[in-house]
């Protein structure tokens, strides 16, 4: 299958390109960064350039749309965040429909729900894909609007769109070595996001499944590891510190963590039901040396 990967030289996109090329796919990456030393075809371009996106889309069977703006940016960069996210996704979907692409897998984010980063407490826990959308930051809004663009094109044009909502994307062993360190600011940052993370290998497996699954028109799936990213606090201690008043309908914090005090407060059962996906990796396991390239010093906060 010929695949276009937008943001193909970024943290997630490049890993997806390596993984999907190894799986036998014909990969084309699209990114603002130029590179001439890659084992696959690369197109230099900007998601805001509709013509450039159309040209890169020629002959493509499916798209992994991982292009994004990294975070909220600096003051005054809000327009770039939204234009690359929502506008770029619009261009990708328009070009995909025109090229007769079979599906688009959008690497979205838990931020599309607007329920983390202390900007808006969750309405309930454990967090699920049924959570109301409450985007507050410009990055959250961009992710939310990009998913809405996908949903709109599915309804209007019939093209399947599958949105993946990873949490903090971590890479063994580099990210995990940092987590085992003594940086108090890092551990505070991890706890403030409820300890949610996903091993990059598990994100890649979700992309595999999203490219192959049948019977989905449009859907979004939260992706997180089974455990939390710190051992300095238990899940109960994190919730008591950051979300003590948030209700747990249908269960309780004590029941949720009865068998594992470090159980993630993010429920990914929807991904299991729709994609057949379950996380396989934990930072508590012995890290694998064959996946050592770091994403960012502390992981990639999707």
pTM: 0.93
What confidence category does residue 299 fall into, taking pLDDT thresholds of 50, 70 and 90? Answer: very low
Domain that holds residue 90: 2-301
CATH number where 182 lies: 3.40.50.720
Q: Tokens at residue 115, please?
A: 């329920």
- Looking only at the bridges linking them, the beta strands covering 300-301 and 168-170 are antiparallel
- Is residue 52 predicted with pLDDT exceeding 80? yes
The Cα 95–Cα 62 span in angstroms is 11
| Residue at token pair 């943001």 | 7
User: Which residues share a beta bridge with 221?
Assistant: 164
pLDDT tens readout for residues 187-244: 999 999 999 999 999 999 999 999 999 999 999 999 999 999 999 999 999 999 999 9
Structure tokens at 55: 């040209």
Q: How confident is residue 69, by pLDDT bands cut at 50, 70 and 90?
A: confident
Q: CA–CA separation, 206 vs 11, rounded Å?
A: 16
Integer angstrom CA distances of residue 108 from 66, 86, 100: 8, 11, 22
pLDDT reported for residue 75:
75
Angle in degrees, 0-180, between the axes of helices 200-212 and 11-22, rounded to the nearest 10? 60
Number of independent structural domains in the chain: 1
Helix 88-99 to helix 138-157 angle (10° resolution) is 20
């Amino acid at each position: 299958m010929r695949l276009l990967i937008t943001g193909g030289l970024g943290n997630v996109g490049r890993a997806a390109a390596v993984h999907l090329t190894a799986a036998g796919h014909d990969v084309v990456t699209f990114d603002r960064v130029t590179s001439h030393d890659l084992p696959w075809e690369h197109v230099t371009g900007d998601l805001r350039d509709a013509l450039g996106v159309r040209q890169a889309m020629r002959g493509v069977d499916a798209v992994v749309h991982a292009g994004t703006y990294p975070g909220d940016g600096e003051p005054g960069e809000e327009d770039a965040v939204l234009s690359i996210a929502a506008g770029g996704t619009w261009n990708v979907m328009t070009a995909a429909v025109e090229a007769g692409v079979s599906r688009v897998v959008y690497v979205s984010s838990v931020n599309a729900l607007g329920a983390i980063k202390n900007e808006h407490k969750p309405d309930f826990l454990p967090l699920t894909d049924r959570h109301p959308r409450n985007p507050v930051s410009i990055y959250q809004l961009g992710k939310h609007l990009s998913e809405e663009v996908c949903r709109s094109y599915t309804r209007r044009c019939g093209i399947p769109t599958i949105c993946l909502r990873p949490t903090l994307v971590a890479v063994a062993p580099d990210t995990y070595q940092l987590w085992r360190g003594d940086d108090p600011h890092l551990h505070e940052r991890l706890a403030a996001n409820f300890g949610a993370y996903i091993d990059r290998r598990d994100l890649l497996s979700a992309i595999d499944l999203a490219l192959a699954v049948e019977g989905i028109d449009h859907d979004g799936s939260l992706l997180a590891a089974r455990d939390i990213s710190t051992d300095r606090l238990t899940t109960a201690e994190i919730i008591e510190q950051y979300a003590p008043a948030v209700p747990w309908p249908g269960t309780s914090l004590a029941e949720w963590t009865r068998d594992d005090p470090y159980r993630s407060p993010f429920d990914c059962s929807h991904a299991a039901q729709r994609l057949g996906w379950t996380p396989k990796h934990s930072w508590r396991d012995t890290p694998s040396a064959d996946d050592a390239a770091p994403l960012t010093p502390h992981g990639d906060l999707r």
